A and B are shown apart, each in its own frame.
Chain A
Amino acid sequence: MRFSSVYYLFPLVAALATAPGVAQTANPDTKPETVQSLQAEITRLRQQMEEQRRAFEERFGLMEKKLQELSATAPLAMAASNHPAAVAGPAPATYLPVLSSRLGAAGQSMNPDVSATIDLNYHADDAKEGLSHVLGELPGFGHAHAGGEEHHHGVANGFNMSHLELQFSAEIDPYFKGSAIAAISEDGAEMETAEIETTGLPGGLKLRGGKFFSDFGYLNAQPSHAWDFVDRPLVYQLLLGDHGLNDKGLQLSWLAPTPFYLLAGIEAFQGDNEVAFAYHGEDPLPQRDGPRLWVGWLKAGPNLPGNHGLQFGVFGATGNHQEEHDGNADTFADHWLDGDSSFWGGDVVYKYNSPKPYGQGDFTLQGEYFARHRDLELVAVDAGGPPPALIGNRRMDDQDGYYVQAVYGILPRWRAGLRWEQVGLTNASELPDGASESYGTSYRVGPMVDWSLSEFSRLRLQLNYGDYETAEGQESVTELYLQWVVSLGAHGAHQF
């Protein structure tokens, strides 16, 4: 519109030039009729000016519209008709997309990609006191809790909402990119992840920092809405708790220049996992500075032809672990343990990506094995706890577990899967009083079927049948899950 203001002047100049009488209005002996005729003349000129202005505006409006149309719909068609045979024009100075059709997207291009995941499920089980109670009672896997602060994330019978996951990601500058997930529940918001990673380090290196999911194993770093089953495998639940291994720290990883895929990573974490690497740091437990947890992993994948993908991984983690125990259940901690905790294991994933559309014929087979070893020292006792003579004695725990699952695209958009899990194949504890205990093995098996109406929504039915070796003996629990999970906003991409 800035053109039009210039053109307002045209009629004005024209009016002045064609109306010399206007200049004579200052003449003292001007007769009334002359004044009248001059006034009439001015009015006429004003009308003329207004008309011309309108005409100009109309024509400019049309021209602008035409220009917009041309640049929006056929900028390249114009280029094509001029020089379709040329070997392309001169190289552009920048490599940013210059299609005018993308101007809409360009306006938003500095904004982070935002998406949200909504995850509703219905759960029912036939356990007397709920499944989380059963899992808390598995001998050898017993939870470590800090006094009475423990909060159970265990699913309720009936409706459950997983956290609303609000995800942001963007390139920060030419050197870093960042992403964050805010996990919002009915009780408030939590920082699930907030991380920075480098994008331009040479030699296949990448540095990551912030609060993030460790990349050990396969399932840990995957967002829960991308899992093939509603719930996490038992071995994850029992050895790492409700959140997996997600902590503050740094990660350095390296993609090796080998002829096959080889990725190695080392992570230093503060060490705040509620189950495996707990830290209280309050008297009588010793204070320990972070980082208290070190994780290392290696992933390798052969170059399989066609649509087959395979990846193996091995991992290990070691760190500090502290426990407060309430031996006589009077809600006061009465003995304290401090020492080292470590786990190691391996994972394997095979995927077949079928050429059929909508996921029909796709097949995934994955499995992970973990073993953990804990070596804790009884550092203090209080009234109601074990005898003070045992202070300085050690408690050792060795537990393990694995899961194997397969998922197959039975129909377009429909998948069926089966998961088999076992925990406690090794399940032994040596107690501070010198007693050696050996506990039994628990297993669980679960079929699932899901229906993805699109890439952004999924309905799932899952059953679990478990046989658990609890302190009170064998207990069987059947669970049913119905899940309805959708994602809104930016189109996410999934890792292998």
Chain B
Amino acid sequence: MKHTILQILLVALTATGLTATAGTLKIVTTTSDLAAIAKAVAGDQAEVHSICSGKEDPHMLQAKPSYILQARDADLWIRLGLELEVGWEPPILDGSRNARIREGTRGHLDAAESALILDIPTVKVTRAMGDVHPQGNPHYWLDPLNGRRIAGAIAERLAEIAPDGAATFRANAAAFQRALDERMFGAALLKTVPADRLWDMTEDGSIAAFLADSANRDNAAGWLAAMQPLRDQKIVTYHRSWIYFAHRFGLGIAGEIEPKPGVPPTAAHLRELAETARQQKVQIILQEPFYSRKAAARLAGEVNARVVVVANSVGGQPEATDFLTLFDLIVKCLTDR
């Protein structure tokens, strides 16, 4: 009896060993945006799965057995971090019994470490402030520059996990970054000014002065040129999820429909917000499809603004098939009149 149990265990162990080594790399990401970037970097060298589909709010996800199965076979687990996945990542990682992807190993990549992070609290945060993330605002994938940086981090990590593919991963990441640069600035502008310099100018805001020059303005294309008419405009968003996008494109945020992060709107807050929005001449109210549109519609009526409902993640709407088309879609929705 003891022998048979041992034999069964041994066979099972060998079987798991085999499944772990055979085949291509398996990457599991917590969100669809990270999956889109990982796909671009890994190319055909890895299978990439995302836990969130892009249609749901990653704050609210619940662990389920099939997620554990995905994590069980993963060689690399990539998360957004900043405690966004705190409610469901631990049971999945624990349940997977996959020592390769435990936090602190090289199979566990926290994308936030390579990203530019905003909204890092400078005072002690308490839960009375709502769903404030003590390490910073986790919606950083909505800054295209962060997509660029995350691609680099994924390439480097993959190069460590699978050194044979290192050159491919780095080349793929560079190609993704070039494509992103072109979508952001347009090919003509990139011929005259290096991409680094242009990203720098979007960071410190000097891009506005730069584009005031008609030669530069004529060369500019892509998201930068499309968003130019909205520069310095104030918008209202539902959740504090668009600050990265706004920062990169020079939009101002007048306020949020949620009185505190994660707290549903109240009538009193909406009255106050309407006042602010009127003062700041808000013309756009921006929100994700999964939030109720009632509050935004009401506010829009009061302040004569238009409501823009657009996905904030790859897969959230059919058009957003990858990281680049996500921004195509957002820019199109914001600029369509």
Do A and B share a complex? yes
Task: Judge whether A99 is part of the interface by a CB distance below 8 angstroms.
Answer: yes
Task: Judge whether B97 is part of the interface by a CB distance below 8 angstroms.
Answer: yes
Instruction: Decide if A87 touches B264 in the complex (CB within 8 Å).
Output: no
| A494 in complex: contacting residue of B83, B91, B127, B292, CB < 8 Å | B91
Instruction: Decide if B127 touches A303 in the complex (CB within 8 Å).
Output: no
Which of these binds chain B: A3-11, A199-207, A322-330, A416-424? A199-207
Closest approach, in angstroms, between the C-beta of B223 and any C-beta of chain A? Answer: 16
Closest approach, in angstroms, between the C-beta of B175 and any C-beta of chain A? Answer: 11
| B69 in complex: contacting residue of A77, A260, A494, CB < 8 Å | A260
Task: Judge whether B21 is part of the interface by a CB distance below 8 angstroms.
Answer: no
Task: Determine the chain B residues whose CB is within 8 A of the CB of A496 once the complex forms.
Answer: 62-65, 91
* Chain B contact surface mostly: helix
Closest approach, in angstroms, between the C-beta of B316 and any C-beta of chain A? Answer: 9
In the complex the two chains form, what is the Cα distance from A170 to B61 in whole Å? 23
| B170 in complex: contacting residue of A76, A87, A299, A304, CB < 8 Å | A87
In the complex the two chains form, what is the Cα distance from A350 to B330 in whole Å? 35
Instruction: Decide if A356 touches B290 in the complex (CB within 8 Å).
Output: yes
- With A493-B90, A493-B91, A496-B64 as known contacts, state yes or no: A76 contacts B117, CB within 8 Å: yes
Task: Judge whether A227 is part of the interface by a CB distance below 8 angstroms.
Answer: no
Instruction: Decide if A81 touches B203 in the complex (CB within 8 Å).
Output: yes
In the complex the two chains form, what is the Cα distance from A334 to B117 in whole Å? 73
Q: Which of B56, B60, B151, B157 has the most CB of A within 10 A?
A: B60
Instruction: Decide if A84 touches B264 in the complex (CB within 8 Å).
Output: no
Task: Please count how many residues in chain B sit with their CB below 8 Å of the partner chain's CB atoms.
Answer: 83
Task: Determine the chain A residues whose CB is within 8 A of the CB of B112 once the complex forms.
Answer: 97, 99
Instruction: Decide if A255 touches B290 in the complex (CB within 8 Å).
Output: no
| A88 in complex: contacting residue of B114, B122, B136, CB < 8 Å | B114
A-B contact count (CB 8 A): 188
In the complex the two chains form, what is the Cα distance from A309 to B96 in whole Å? 16
Task: Judge whether B234 is part of the interface by a CB distance below 8 angstroms.
Answer: no
Closest approach, in angstroms, between the C-beta of B155 and any C-beta of chain A? Answer: 6
Instruction: Decide if A84 touches B195 in the complex (CB within 8 Å).
Output: yes
Q: Give the B-binding residues of A (Cβ under 8 A).
A: 72-73, 76-77, 80-81, 83-88, 91, 95-99, 101-102, 104-105, 199-206, 254-257, 260-261, 263, 299, 301-304, 306-307, 309-311, 351, 353-359, 362, 412-413, 454-456, 491-496
Extra A-B contacts (9), CB below 8 Å, given A99-B117, A357-B57: A85-B195, A88-B153, A99-B135, A303-B69, A307-B56, A309-B64, A351-B62, A351-B64, A412-B292
Q: Give the A-binding residues of B (Cβ under 8 A).
A: 9, 12-13, 15-17, 19, 53, 55-57, 60-66, 68-69, 72, 81, 83, 86-91, 94-97, 99, 102, 104-106, 108-110, 112-117, 120, 122, 127, 131, 134-136, 145, 148-149, 151-153, 155-157, 159-160, 170, 173-174, 177, 181, 194-196, 199-200, 203-204, 262-264, 290-292
